[in-house]
Amino acid sequence: VFEGNKIIEVKNININKGHATSNWINKNKWDFIVAIGDDFSDEDIFKVVQENTYSIKVGIEPSQAKYNVESYKEVRKLLKELNSLESND
C-alpha cells in the first residue's frame, strides 16, 4: 500500500506503471513519446522509458525524469507548443 498525491495505491509488488509502460511501448514503433507525471508512482515509468523518450516530472522534487517543470501550467504550455508545431507541418 502506497500513499501519493491524492491517491492511495494498492498493488502487487511485481506490477507497476513501469511494467505497463514497457508492455505498451513495445507493442508498436512510436515516432514520439512523452511521459509526464507528478507522483512517486510515476517514477516507475521514468525508469523504464527509452533513451529517446521525453520524461517530465511535474514539480521540483528529485526524479528519474530527464526534465522538470514547476506546474501543470507549464505542461499545458508545452503541449500547446508541440501541437502548434505539428499543425505547421
Q: What is the pLDDT of residues 18-34, one digit of tens each?
A: 999 999 999 999 999 99
CATH architecture for the domain at 2-88: 3-Layer(aba) Sandwich (3.40)
Domain residue extents for the chain = 2-88
Q: What is the pLDDT of residues 48-75, one digit of tens each?
A: 998 889 999 999 999 999 999 999 999 9
Q: What is the pLDDT of residues 34-44, one digit of tens each?
A: 999 998 889 99
| CA 77 from centroid of its chain's CA atoms | 16
Model pTM score:
0.79
Contacts (Cβ under 8 Å, ≥6 apart) of 71: 58
Which residue shows C-alpha cell 530527464? Answer: 66
Number of helices (H), then strands (E), in the chain: 3, 5
